[in-house]
């Protein structure tokens, strides 16, 4: 599988391809003939102002928007996993049953246990969701997404509800799991630092189109104090219309 960043065309078929994707609510056109290609195994972050249509795009790619008007072509792989801002664990199923929900074939239980172990929740399989902390719930949700061995992982602000410390830990975990399983990732986030830290490619959605498509050429282990990290960050913040004071030397 291609490991280089930047969304270069790989030999394999793209993981996601949208052509002239249109989505509208009434008269308001949210996505205006949007073209987007994500390569297999590519970690892409999607930024954009609040209300710019990030969730709309993600839900379209997840094919969850039955009721939304629109047109365009959409190609997605067979195995797509989703994670939401809330962990969305079913309160009436124990953690393991949540993780293996909808899993078919033999060995579902074992796969679920392995996934829980991977996210550091070994031994919590019999707990009820409300017995987990917010971060643990989000980790369980991550296990549920990964146990399906997705070719594409769609995540809509999965860390939005977490505190700063837990979020840092989750970044590390997500990146680690990504390295191991190599799904294509489309991560919606509000946080520019999070995008530059995690993704190999950052997109900005503006006025219904991708206005910035930035390849992040940084080593896997990234430091926020890296000068190039700052450069990427400033570029993106400017693209998002946030004026940046000159960084202190």
Ligand X SMILES: Nc1ncnc2c1ncn2[C@@H]1O[C@H](COP(=O)(O)OP(=O)(O)OP(=O)(O)O)[C@@H](O)[C@H]1O
Catalog residues that contact other proteins under the rule CB under 8 A: 62, 64, 80-82, 84, 86, 88, 90-93, 101-102, 128-130, 144, 148
Residue 53's binding partner out of ligand X, other proteins, Mg ion, none, with CB under 5 to 8 Å set by partner kind: ligand X
Q: Which of 164, 156, 151 is nearest to 187 (CA)?
A: 156
**Which CB atom, from 118 or from 156, has the smaller least distance to other proteins?**
156
- Give least dist CB 166 to ligand X, A: 20
- Give least dist CB 182 to other proteins, A: 21
What tokens were used for 188? Answer: 């919606």
Who's near 177: CB < 8 A, 6+ residues apart?
A: 118, 119, 142, 146
Residue 102's binding partner out of ligand X, other proteins, Mg ion, none, with CB under 5 to 8 Å set by partner kind: other proteins
**Which CB atom, from 77 or from 160, has the smaller least distance to ligand X?**
160
Who's near 82: CB < 8 A, 6+ residues apart?
A: 62, 64, 145, 153, 154, 155, 156
Alpha helices in the chain (DSSP H): 54-61, 95-99, 108-118, 134-146, 164-181, 192-198, 227-239
Is 244 strand, coil or helix? coil
- Give least dist CB 66 to other proteins, A: 8
Residue 52's binding partner out of ligand X, other proteins, Mg ion, none, with CB under 5 to 8 Å set by partner kind: ligand X
In the complex, which residues of this chain contact Mg ion (CB under 5 A)? Answer: 55
């Amino acid at each position: 599988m291609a490991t280089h960043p930047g969304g270069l065309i790989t030999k394999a078929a793209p993981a996601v391809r949208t052509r002239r994707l249109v989505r509208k609510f009434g008269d308001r056109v949210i996505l205006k003939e949007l073209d987007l290609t994500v390569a297999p195994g590519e970690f892409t972050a999607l930024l954009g102002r609040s209300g710019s249509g990030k969730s709309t795009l993600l839900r379209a790619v997840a094919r969850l928007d039955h009721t939304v008007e629109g047109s365009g072509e959409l190609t997605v792989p067979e195995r797509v996993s989703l994670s939401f801002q809330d962990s969305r664990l079913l309160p009436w199923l124990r953690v393991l049953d949540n993780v293996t929900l909808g899993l078919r074939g033999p060995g579902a239980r074992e796969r679920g246990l392995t996934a829980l172990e991977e996210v550091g929740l070994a031994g919590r399989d019999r707990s009820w969701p409300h017995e987990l902390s917010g971060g643990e719930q989000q980790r369980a949700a991550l296990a549920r997404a990964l146990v399906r061995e997705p070719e594409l992982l769609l995540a809509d602000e999965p860390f939005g509800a977490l505190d700063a410390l837990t979020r840092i830990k989750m970044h590390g975990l997500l990146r680690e799991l990504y390295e191991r399983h190599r799904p294509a990732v489309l991560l919606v986030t509000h946080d520019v630092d999070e995008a530059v830290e995690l993704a190999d490619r950052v997109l900005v959605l503006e006025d219904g189109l991708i206005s910035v498509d930035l390849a992040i050429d940084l080593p896997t282990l990234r430091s926020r104090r890296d000068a190039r990290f700052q450069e990427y960050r400033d570029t993106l913040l400017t693209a998002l219309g946030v004026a940046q004071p000159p960084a202190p030397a």
